[in-house]
Amino acid sequence: MKCSYCSREAVYFQRHSGKHLCRRHFTENFIRRVKRNIRKFRMIGRNERIAIAMSGGKDSVVLAHVLKRLYGDRKDIELVAISVDEGISGYRPPTLKIAEHICRELEIQHHVVTFEEEIGLRLDEMVEIGKRNPCTYCGVFRKYLLNRKAKELSADRLATGHNIDDEAQTILLNFLQSDIERLARLVPSRVQRGLVLRIKPLREIYEREIVTYAILNNLPVSFEECPYSHMPVRAAVRDFLYDFENRYPGRKFSVLRSFEAIMPCLREMYPQIDLNECEICGEPTPKNVCQACELKKELRLS
């Protein structure tokens, strides 16, 4: 099949536009959409240090590669990467190796923080002694450590590799669970004291496009799945969206655009509150004690 824009062989069929794209036009289209998204939400400005949350999975690897491509020549923008080792045997060590390798290749300073050292237990151990879902410990502590490390590195932004599939799932899930407050937290550019602003430069890129970009650029792609990943409701939403998108291409964009249309209402409904400093660790929290410190107490770590 020929590219819809030139005479070269197509390497990708973009379902939502109906276009066949050769390597060059696929890359141009990909980069243009990432740039547009960064500009739209003013994700990156001048003189900034951007910390990349680097799990070593395909999304974060592609994110680092794209940011290096876009900002590698800029003297005023610095990229650093932070990996969190949760302590999940068999799953995390190989992706951490990928993270290390890719940061070396891209000449991005790489920092690793571990649950074991910073929290006191590996996730595998928390799961043994605690009663909660593994993803609760993992999500809360990972977010906590990423924010703390990003601040320690004086980062202005914390970039994550979320793609359109992740975003559309989360938006729909929040609607289905009637959790509008959580939905409001997805609004980009919500500046809060003590929290390094999170940005998602790939939020308009399909997962399939990320995999294609990785393959075209010889980037390592890990398809390993976390042994604790068991989120039946999210999986149901993912399958529904996948099926719907297959039949009616572009619907994930519709979910994103609808969310963007109601952003002003969400901002008004949930104005930003000033966060407190956790009485125990000083990290930001809407309460007196942050969630990480509460979980640590439950696990008898403090």
* 3-state secondary structure at position 145: helix
* Shortest Å, Cβ 135 to ligand SF4: 3
139's contact among ligand SF4, Zn ion, none, with CB below 5 to 8 A by partner kind, is ligand SF4
**Sheet (strand 197-199) strand order:** 109-114, 77-85, 48-53, 157-159, 197-199
Residues that bind Zn ion (rule: CB under 5 A) add up to a total of 12
Which part of the chain contacts Zn ion (CB under 5 A), choosing from 8-16, 151-159, 201-209, 241-249? 8-16
- Residue 200, interface with Zn ion (CB under 5 A)? no
226's contact among ligand SF4, Zn ion, none, with CB below 5 to 8 A by partner kind, is ligand SF4
- Output b/e per residue, 107-144; b: 16+ Cβ within 10 A: ebebbbbbbeeebebbbbebbeebeeebbebbebbbbb
Contacting residues for 208 by C-beta, under 8 A, at least 6 apart: none
- Residue 139, interface with ligand SF4 (CB under 6 A)? yes
Give 270's DSSP letter.
S
- Residue 286, interface with ligand SF4 (CB under 6 A)? no
* Shortest Å, Cβ 134 to ligand SF4: 4
In the bound state with ligand SF4, the residue whose beta carbon lies nearer, of 21 and 161, is 161
- Residue 199, interface with Zn ion (CB under 5 A)? no
Give 3's DSSP letter.
-
Residue selected from 47, 89, 109, 229 as contacting ligand SF4 according to rule CB under 6 A: 229
Q: Which of 49, 86, 22, 60 is nearest to 202 (CA)?
A: 60
Residue selected from 280, 284, 298, 302 as contacting Zn ion according to rule CB under 5 A: 280
* Shortest Å, Cβ 11 to ligand SF4: 31
d(CA 185, CA 187): 5
Residue selected from 56, 87, 134, 161 as contacting ligand SF4 according to rule CB under 6 A: 134
d(CA 230, CA 244): 22
Q: Please report, as a single letter, which amino acid is at residue 97.
A: K
- Residue 31, interface with ligand SF4 (CB under 6 A)? no
* Shortest Å, Cβ 285 to Zn ion: 7
Residues that bind ligand SF4 (rule: CB under 6 A) add up to a total of 7
Tokens at 187, concatenated: 């609004």
In the bound state with Zn ion, the residue whose beta carbon lies nearer, of 22 and 64, is 22
* Shortest Å, Cβ 81 to ligand SF4: 17
Residue selected from 1, 2, 6, 9 as contacting Zn ion according to rule CB under 5 A: 6
d(CA 67, CA 33): 13
CA angle at residue 193 from 190 to 195, to 5 degrees?
Answer: 70
- Residue 90, interface with ligand SF4 (CB under 6 A)? no
In the bound state with ligand SF4, the residue whose beta carbon lies nearer, of 228 and 253, is 228
Q: Within 10 A of 273 (CB to CB), how many other CB atoms are there?
A: 8
d(CA 260, CA 239): 23
Residues in contact with ligand SF4 by CB under 6 A are 134-135, 138-139, 226, 228-229
